[in-house]
Amino acid sequence: MARLRAPDGCPWDREQTFDTIRKYTLEEAYEVFDAIERRDFPHLAEELGDLLLQVLFYAEMAANEGHFTITDVLDELNRKLVRRHPHVFGEEASRAAGNAAAVDANVEGSASAVLRNWEEIKVAEKAAKPTQETSRLDGVQRAMPALAEAAKLGSKAAKAGFDWPTWRELLPKVAEETAELEAEAASGDPACKAAVEAELGDLLFTVVNLGRHLGVDAEMALRGCNRRFRERFREMELASARPLEELKPEELEALWSEAKRKLANGEVR
């Protein structure tokens, strides 16, 4: 990467900035997700390399501008791992790496105890850093997929007692938000587009938090739904003797229902 960014290196790589590269980082992360879901391990090795390239790219650009180097990145990571794992590296090493939290390093093989300590150490780290945050929600980064952000916002608010008691109480809220969306969309007025978008956002936010209460990650649930839609739609295309565009709505619905049945029963081509 240093060679590519050198004066006599690659013109394209030399032109890139933090802003131009960031969209590729998100793409590469999703390609890693895809390879994992398909259990395509040879492809996963390649995609992990592409994701690692993003880290190297950022570090080299930062080094060029005098901010930090790849060594700083790795040092920060190593210190964090030691700091947040006193049960592995020892309490003394954890403190030397910056742990200011009083946690019980004897987790007795409990993953939940590890996570509890991790969060306490993380809170102590945050308290030690100067901050301009005015709300506890400021700690939820905007730089993440919207579904993940919604889940984290709901989780943060829940810690302050602002939440639905159980998932069952969320079902009427889903119906309420659906009705509000329907009311805005029914007008058909182009001027209402912003209101329709807002109501759709409210509905999505509520559904994401329903998933949180059910212990379901909304992003993973939607990705699974997308995969199933692909499979069913592909089966529709294979099963139809004519292009789908030429079929009537009831014929399309019949194909869809049959595709769902076949896939559910393992009757795929």
132 and 12, same domain (yes or no) = yes
Domain boundary residue, one of 84, 112, 136: 136
83 and 31, same domain (yes or no) = yes
110 and 26, same domain (yes or no) = yes
Residue 119 within any structural domain of the chain: yes
**The Cα angle at residue 66 between residues 63 and 69, in degrees rounded to 5:** 35
Amino acid found at 207 = V
- Work out the angle between the directed axes of helices 193-213 and 146-159 (0-180°, nearest 10): 60
For 74-91, what is the HEC assignment? HHHHHHHHHHCCHHHHCH
Residue 269 within any structural domain of the chain: no
- Give the max Cα distance, the chain: 72
Residue 230 within any structural domain of the chain: yes
- pLDDT tens digits for the chain (269 residues)? 999 999 999 999 999 999 899 889 988 998 998 899 889 999 999 999 999 999 999 999 999 999 999 999 999 999 999 988 989 898 889 889 888 888 888 888 889 888 888 888 888 887 777 666 678 888 888 877 889 899 999 999 998 899 999 999 999 999 999 999 999 999 888 888 899 999 999 999 999 999 999 999 998 899 889 989 999 999 999 999 999 999 999 999 999 999 999 998 887 65
What's the CA gap between 70 and 31, in Å, rounded? 23
Give me 99's structure tokens: 């742990």
What's the CA gap between 254 and 245, in Å, rounded? 14
Whole-angstrom Cα Rg for the chain? 25
197 and 184, same domain (yes or no) = yes
Residue carrying structure tokens 């939940």: 112
93 and 142, same domain (yes or no) = no
* CATH number, domain with residue 175: 1.10.287.1080
User: What is the reported pTM?
Assistant: 0.58
What's the CA gap between 177 and 174, in Å, rounded? 5
46 and 149, same domain (yes or no) = no
Total tally of structural domains belonging to the chain:
3
96 and 174, same domain (yes or no) = no
Residue 154 within any structural domain of the chain: yes
18 and 73, same domain (yes or no) = yes
Domain boundary residue, one of 136, 161, 187: 136
Domain boundary residue, one of 102, 136, 170: 136
Residue 38 within any structural domain of the chain: yes
Residue 77 within any structural domain of the chain: yes
123 and 15, same domain (yes or no) = yes
> How much is the pLDDT for 41?
94
122 and 202, same domain (yes or no) = no
Amino acid found at 63 = A
67 and 130, same domain (yes or no) = yes
Give me 155's structure tokens: 């989780």
163 and 152, same domain (yes or no) = yes
What's the CA gap between 88 and 217, in Å, rounded? 29
What domain range includes position 251? 222-264
Q: What separation in angstroms does the CA of 203 have from each of 26, 157, 229?
A: 25, 17, 21
- How many helices and strands (H and E) does the chain possess? 13, 0
> How much is the pLDDT for 120?
86
